[in-house]
Amino acid sequence: MKYIDEYRNPDLVRLLLEQIDNAVSRPWTIMEICGGQTHAIVRHGLDQLLPSSIRLVHGPGCPVCVTPLEMIDRAHTIAAMPGVIFTTFGDMLRVPGSHQDFFSVRSRGADVRFVFSPLEALQIARDNPRHEVVFLAVGFETTAPGNAMAIKQAATEGLGNFSALSSQVLVPPAMRAILSSPDNLVQGFLAAGHVCTITGLCDYFPVAETYGVPIVPAGFEPVDLLNAVLKVVEMLEAGETGVVNAYERVVSRDGNAGALRVMDDVFEIADRTWRGIGVIARSGLRIREKYAAFDAERKFDVGHIEPKESSLCMSGDVLRGILQPEACPAFGKQCTPLSPLGAPMVSGEGACAAYYRYQRAWGA
């Protein structure tokens, strides 16, 4: 099975589009949660191919985008400290804080390195015993197990110079926050396929029931996404609610027990601020007290941080699916990937960046 070819097959795509067209009888607004799904949709132009009565809006599934400005400023401050090697996934490098981004921090002499995995950061800590190595642990439930493993491994080895700055967030509380907002337009969800691979589906049944919506965990290839859209549409048309798994080759009902165990060992649930949205109760992960020595937030005193959000940036409305990126007045003008006002324009999973990369208006 060649997953790329099979799940991008044009004949299957055409068939699914036909089926969606036949199934739909009225306008529906569907949200995809995950930034990776947003990019896949825009890259393959799936939103251009769907019937116009289906409106796809993009959710806050970009962990970089929702990391609060205060946390980004904190990360920049720690990175600039002498003796620190700061490690992060690549897409954090250009995210703007109140005053700077990692590139400008690095150009002033800081040691900032991008890594593909937290295990690389661990190795850097082993190789540099006289430096403090900090890893920016950003992500949803997908990255939490790996980040937890790194912290656990550091504790096992007694790697005292390693710590993680945790900006981990959880999906189901975000969905609840969106659905309980008075200006909510979303009627159905494509849930994040790889988040669900870790967590399983149990957290989603109560959301579907409480708010009366269909939730369909979806993959990332065109066939996966359209198949999931079809399922959501069919449920909406039939007035059905609940959770239907459209990514069965990877997502199981109970998720990955080993991953969930290590997450629970290292992290505890805490309130978190989501950039552009505000505080969502019990929506994030904090490093437990027993691993406090590996928590960069406790380890480094950054003094008082006064975050300064751009007054033009409307990323909050974009992240809640209320505003499409190209409708933002600053889109493509004051706000571009080279001079971003907010994280969704920079991050690899940001909705604004997806629109800018793939759909910038091309004149006549």
Give the binding site for other proteins (CB under 8 A): 2, 4, 8, 10, 13-14, 42-46, 48-49, 116, 222, 337-338, 348, 356-360, 362-364
Nearer to other proteins by Cβ, of 307 and 348: the residue is 348
Query: Which of 117, 252 has the CB closer to other proteins?
Result: 117
Stretch (H or E) spanning 234:
helix 222-238
Give the shortest CB-146-to-other proteins separation in angstroms: 15
Residue 21 vs 70, nearer CB to other proteins: 21
The nearer residue to other proteins, 50 or 207, going by C-beta atoms, is: 50
**How many Cα neighbours within 13 Å face the side chain of 221?**
18
Q: Which is nearer to other proteins, 42 or 190 (CB)?
A: 42
Q: How many CB atoms lie within 10 A of CB 324?
A: 17
In residues, how long is the chain? 364
Specify the residue, 65 or 296, whose C-beta has the smaller distance to other proteins.
65
Q: Beta partners for 189?
A: 31, 215
Return the ∠ at Cα 200 (arms to 59 and 120), rounded to 5°: 75
In angstroms, give the least distance from the CB of 253 to other proteins.
27
3-state secondary structure of 89: coil
Instruction: Compute the distance between CA of residue 281 and CA of residue 225 in angstroms, rounded to an integer.
Output: 30
Q: How far is the CB of 348 from other proteins (least distance, A)?
A: 7
Choice between 10 and 239, CB closer to other proteins = 10
* Residue 57 DSSP symbol: E
The answer to whether the CB of 140 falls within 8 A of the CB of 94 is no
The minimum distance between CB 260 and other proteins, in angstroms, equals 25
CB of 332 to other proteins, least distance (A): 12
Q: How far apart, in whole angstroms, are the C-alpha atoms of residue 217 and residue 195?
A: 9
Least distance between other proteins and beta carbon 353 (Å): 10
DSSP state of 8: T
Shorter beta-carbon distance to other proteins: residue 98 or 359 = 359
- Give, as one character, the DSSP assignment of residue 295: B
* Closest C-alpha to 12, from 205, 224, 291: 224
Task: Locate 357 and state its tokens.
Answer: 């990369």
The number of C-alpha atoms within 13 Å of 15 and in the hemisphere containing its C-beta is 9
For every residue of 317-354, DSSP letters joined together read: HHHTTSS-GGGSTTBTTTB-SSS-SSGGGTSTT-HHHH
Cβ 42 to other proteins shortest distance, Å: 7
Residue 337: CB minimum distance to other proteins, A: 6
Q: Tell me how far, at minimum, the Cβ of 305 lies from other proteins, in Å.
A: 28
Neighbours of 357 (CB within 10 A): 14
* Nearest approach, Cβ of residue 341 and other proteins (Å): 16
For 140, the token pair is 């949803």
Amino acid code (one letter) for 106: R
Residue number with CB closer to other proteins (54 or 243):
54
| Cβ-Cβ contacts under 8 Å for 266 (sequence gap 6 or more) | 147, 148, 151, 152, 287, 288, 291
